[in-house]
Structure 1
Amino acid sequence: MAPAAATRRGFLTGALGVGAALGFTACGSNAADGTAPAAGGPIAPSITVAPSPAGTPGSGATPFPSFRLFTDESMNFDALFGLGESTYGISEAGEVITAVNQANAAGADYDGYVTAFRAMGDRVATASDAATAAGDHVTARDTALRAASYYTRALFFVLGTAAPPAEMPLYAEYRRAWDRGIAGAGLAIGARPAAEVLDIPYGDGGLRAWLFRPDDSGSARRTVIINNGSDAQGVELIAYGVRAALDRDWNALVFEGPGQGAMLFERGIPFRPDWEAVITPVVDLLSGRDDVDPNAIALTGWSMGGELVARAAAYEHRLVALVADPPAVDMWRTLPDQVRKIVDPGDPFRTNLIWNETIVPGMTPEQRFTVAKRMEIYTPEAHDAALGGHPTRDFAAVAAQMKKFTVTDAAPQIRCPTLVLDYEGESFYPGQPAEFLSLLTADAKMVTLTAADGAQYHCAPMAPARRNEVVFDWLDSVVPA
Structure 2
Amino acid sequence: MSLPVRYLLLGGVILFGFLILSCSATDEISPQPVINVNTTCSPFMVNDPEFDFELKRTLSSMYSGGSDLGEVIATASRIKPLNYENWYTEWTKTADHFKKVGDTAYEQGHLVSAHDAWLRAQTYYRTAEFFLHRNPDDPRILTSWKNSVDTFRAAMELDPVHMEIVSIPYENTTLPGYFYSADESGEKKPLLIIQTGYDGTQEELYSNALEGVKRGYNVLTFEGPGQGEVIRVQKIPFRYDWEKVVGPVLDYATSRPDVDSERIGMWGISMGGYFVPRAAAFDNRIHAIIADSAIYDMANEQISQFRMGFPDPQNVTREDVFDFIRENKDYVNEDMYARMKNSTSLDWAMTQGMYVFDVPTPADVMLTYEPYTLEGVIENITAATLVCDGISDSKIGGQAQSFYEALKCPKTYLVFTDEFCAGEHCQLGASGISYQEKLDWLDDQLHP
TM-score, normalised with respect to structure 2 = 0.85
Query: Is residue 392 of structure 2 the alignment partner of residue 425 of structure 1?
Result: yes
Residue 419 of structure 2, aligned match among 435, 448, 452: 452
2:173 is aligned to 205
Contact 1:152 1:232 in 2 (8 A): no
Q: Deviations over 1:365-390 (max 9, x none)?
A: 64444421234222x2x3xxxxxxxx
- The verdict on how the C-alpha distance between 1:349 and 1:452 changes in structure 2, with shifts beyond 3 A counting, is closer
Instruction: Report 1:41-52 matches (<5 A).
Output: none
SS of the aligned residue for 1:201 comes to strand
Aligned-partner Cα distance in 2 for 1:358–1:438: 35
Classify 1:443/1:23 alpha carbon distance in 2 versus 1 (closer, same or farther; 3 Å).
Answer: closer
The one of 308, 314, 328 equivalent to 1:351 is: 328
Provide the rounded CA distance (Å) in 2 between the counterparts of 1:323 and 1:162. 32
**Quick one: distance in 2 between partners of 1:173 and 1:159?**
17
Q: Kindly indicate whether the alpha-carbon contact (under 8 Å) linking 2:37 and 2:418 is maintained by their aligned counterparts in 1.
A: no
Structure 1's 472 and 268: CA in aligned 2 closer, same or farther, altered over 3 A? Answer: same
Change (3 A) 1:25 1:225: closer
Q: Is the 8 A contact 2:41 2:418 kept in 1?
A: no
The corresponding residue for 2:376 is 409
Instruction: Report the Cα distance in structure 2 between the residues aligned to 1:128 and 1:451, rounded to whole angstroms.
Output: 37
Q: How many residues align?
A: 413
Q: 1:399 to 1:73 in 2, by over 3 A?
A: closer
User: Tell me, which stretches of 5 or more residues in structure 1 are unaligned?
Assistant: 1-15, 29-57, 187-191, 383-391
Q: Which amino acid aligns with 1:88?
A: S
Secondary structure at the aligned position of 2:170 is classed as coil
Aligned to 1:237: 205
Question: Could you tell me whether the CA contact under 8 Å between 1:111 and 1:161 is conserved in 2?
Answer: no
Q: Judging changes above 3 Å, is the alpha-carbon distance between structure 1 residues 393 and 450 closer, same or farther for their aligned structure 2 residues?
A: closer
1:146 aligns with 2:120: yes
- Correspondence list, 1:209-224, <5 A: 209-224=177-192
Supply the distance in 2 between the matched residues of 1:17 and 1:162 (Cα, whole angstroms).
Answer: 33
Which moved further from structure 2: 228-237 or 251-260? 228-237
SS in 2 for 1:270: coil
CA 1:336–1:371 in structure 2 vs 1: closer, same or farther (change >3 Å)? farther
1:360 aligns with 2:337: yes
3-state DSSP class of the match of 1:456?
coil
Structure-2 change in CA distance of 1:17 and 1:138 (3 Å): farther
Aligned match of 2:47: 71
2:64 aligned partner: 88
SS at match of 1:299: strand
Q: 1:457 to 1:62 in 2, by over 3 A?
A: closer
Amino acid at match of 2:127: R
2:199 aligned with 1:225: no
> What's the offset of the Cα at 1:253?
0.7
Percentage of identical aligned residues: 27
Counterpart residue number, 1:98: 74
TM-score, length-scaled by structure 1: 0.79
Residue 170 (structure 1) aligned with residue 144 (structure 2) = yes
Secondary structure of the residue aligned to 2:371 is coil
Structure 2: gaps spanning 5 or more residues: 11-32, 311-319
Shift of 1:234: 1.9
- Farther-moved stretch of structure 1 (432-441 vs 337-346): 337-346
Aligned-pair CA distance for 1:288 = 1.4
Q: Distance in 2 between matches of 1:85 and 1:362?
A: 32
RMSD of aligned C-alpha atoms? 2.8
- The letter for the 1-side match of 2:300 is R
C-alpha distance in 2 between matches for 1:243 and 1:161:
34
Deviation at 1:136, TM superposition (A): 2.9
Shift of 1:196: 0.6
Aligned to 1:155: 129
